[in-house]
Structure 1
Amino acid sequence: MCRWIAYRGRTIPLEHYVTEPAHSLVSQSIKALESTASTNGDGFGLGWYGDHPEPGRFREVQPAWSDENLRYICRHLHSHLFFAHVRAATGTPITRPNCHPFACGPWLFMHNGYIGDWARLRRPIEALIPDELYRSRNGTTDSEALFLAILGQGLMASEVKRDPITATTRALAAVTELVGGIEGGHPFRFTAALADGRDLYAFRYAANDAANSMYYRQSADGVVVVSEPLDKEHATWTPVPDNSVVIARKDALVEVVSLKEFGLARTSRLPLLQMQMSA
């Protein structure tokens, strides 16, 4: 499985979390400690917000540990909200369009997880993407399909009408119904981060399987959410409960809220919530 970090807070250089820590994301690309795949060398990516409403991105297909440009970029790039991701592919090609994070309009998204029997379920899951967003489908991963399905739940509307948590839980409920509706139920793991340049949301959820690890830590600078701790000070990292979302909004305290409050319970089957389906 992939490894990632997401940060929201005071503007800092990306190297503070991506390359400098003892167990940095670059180190995790070589040897992750809490992942089913110890090596995450199938590409990497950065996403960050600066002076423009849409995020900047840098993605490459080579391993993070072998790209010297990554260290220079992380040293000189500063941001108040950024993502970093190292990939362990689960069946889709190692191409730049398949590397995280993904972006559409002001939104940035990255994912660590898995949809069982993706080859069979790809078509019905892609049907959850509205026609007007399908043109943004550049890769072949389940992650990008999930991202666009989430955006299709009203996140491209005016800012006052956006509800990222409800949009995500609706998409998760629909996919859970699809994987659970097949005899025996296929695993579905979703540990993901979503941001719009202002606020950060990080989700930990699974159906028919155990959820991938996720932690967060607050400091005077802000909050960082990670797949696994970046150092040996494990007591300073808070595990995120299963079926929960970490909410880091601008000028607000960090919250961890159960997705049950949004109608999503961790189970092998869920009622299908109303989706905005493409015709």
Structure 2
Amino acid sequence: MCRLLGFVAHRPTSVLEVLGKEHFDAFTALTAVHGDGWGMAWLDPASHTIRSVTSAESAIADGAYAQLARQRLGPAGMLHLRWATPGLPVTPQNTHPFVDGGYAFAHNGHIAPVDRLEGLLTQEARAALRGDTDSERYFRFVKQCIAEQGDDAEGLSQALGVLTSSFPAASLNALLMTPTHMFGVHINSRASAPVDGLRRLFSSAEEIPYRHTDDYFAMDFRRAPDAVHVISSGIDPAGWMPVPDDTAAAVDLASLEITRLDGWATARTEESD
């Protein structure tokens, strides 16, 4: 259960530029909950490959986090703050984003049972696993479906169709960066917010971060002439619009055009038949 930030722009951009100093500090302060590691992935403008840095330390205590956040690393990227699911260790192998070749993936949610999720994977996909999380298995299943379909959007749609049918109470909120697109997934309408876990972390309800008890899985986005941004709930900056419930979309890295993905709903219906 984590926090996500993604951006696509016409020029190399830093996380600090995306949020501004005040809201970057507010986002970083969410480590009061989401302090079980952090990671960034970005499209390197020189090599046109995806690079990443991850750490099992809390972002607020890791100087590398603040340093990277100030660098204009690339024209597209994502940031993930982790709150580990109970029972899953805080290790580098379990830290998002997960990166493979030209793909990077970060997840906010939980898919259970994990062994049933892993059962969807081919032997090749299981052999590529490095950690214990459902999130990495989600990523490997998406990659598996993309390989089967030969297309990023069709593969992601296939994966979401299967997962929404097989795990209807899961939050599938995620960011997926490919060589050509940033995909945002906001599918969680039957997922339960971890309210009891939040209450155990704080002495009073007033201390719990903004929208964490009543809109935990919300995602917001905003468009500018030269950029598209998406963020999980937790801070309250002006100018952001809510991402519609149970939707997925793609942002073209070159044109910034946003396209809604509806194929996953069809795939879900076919899987249920």
Q: TM-score range by the shorter chain?
A: 0.7 to 0.9
Q: Which runs of 5+ in 1 are unaligned?
A: 33-37, 181-186, 275-279
Aligned residue number for residue 183 of structure 1: none
Measured on the aligned residues, the alpha-carbon RMSD in Å equals 2.7
Aligned residue number for residue 76 of structure 1: 71
User: Quick one: distance in 2 between partners of 1:204 and 1:152?
Assistant: 20
Aligned residue number for residue 133 of structure 1: 125
Alpha carbons of 1:261 and 1:57: their partners in 2 closer, same or farther (altered >3 Å)? closer
Q: Equivalences for 1:80-119 in 2 at 5 Å?
A: 80-91=75-86, 92-115=88-111, 118=112
Aligned residue number for residue 41 of structure 2: 47
Under a length normalisation based on structure 2, what TM-score does the superposition of the two structures give? 0.80
CA-CA distance at 1:80 after TM superposition: 0.7
For 1:184-221, what per-residue CA distance to the aligned partner results, in whole angstroms no more than 9, with x for missing partners?
Answer: xxx21111111113211101112533681111111133
Q: Out of 162, 180, 197, which is 1:198 matched to?
A: 180
Asked whether 1:272 is paired with 2:271, we answer yes
Q: Out of 210, 215, 226, which is 1:221 matched to?
A: 226
Alpha carbons of 1:22 and 1:228: their partners in 2 closer, same or farther (altered >3 Å)? farther
Q: Equivalences for 1:207-218 in 2 at 5 Å?
A: 208-209=190-191, 212-218=217-223
Paired amino acid for 1:176: T
User: Quick one: distance in 1 between partners of 2:12 and 2:230?
Assistant: 15
Aligned residue number for residue 184 of structure 1: none
Please give the secondary structure, in 2, of the residue aligned with 1:148: helix
Alpha carbons of 1:217 and 1:162: their partners in 2 closer, same or farther (altered >3 Å)? farther
Corresponding pairs, count = 248
User: Quick one: distance in 1 between partners of 2:146 and 2:179?
Assistant: 17
Aligned residue number for residue 205 of structure 2: none
Alpha carbons of 1:172 and 1:135: their partners in 2 closer, same or farther (altered >3 Å)? same
Under a length normalisation based on structure 1, what TM-score does the superposition of the two structures give? 0.78
Higher mean alpha-carbon deviation, 167-176 vs 241-250, is at 167-176
Q: Contact 1:244/1:257 (CA < 8 Å) preserved in 2?
A: yes
Please give the secondary structure, in 1, of the residue aligned with 2:145: coil
Q: Contact 2:154/2:263 (CA < 8 Å) preserved in 1?
A: no
Please give the secondary structure, in 2, of the residue aligned with 1:129: coil
Q: Which runs of 5+ in 2 are unaligned?
A: 193-215
Percent of aligned pairs sharing the same letter = 23
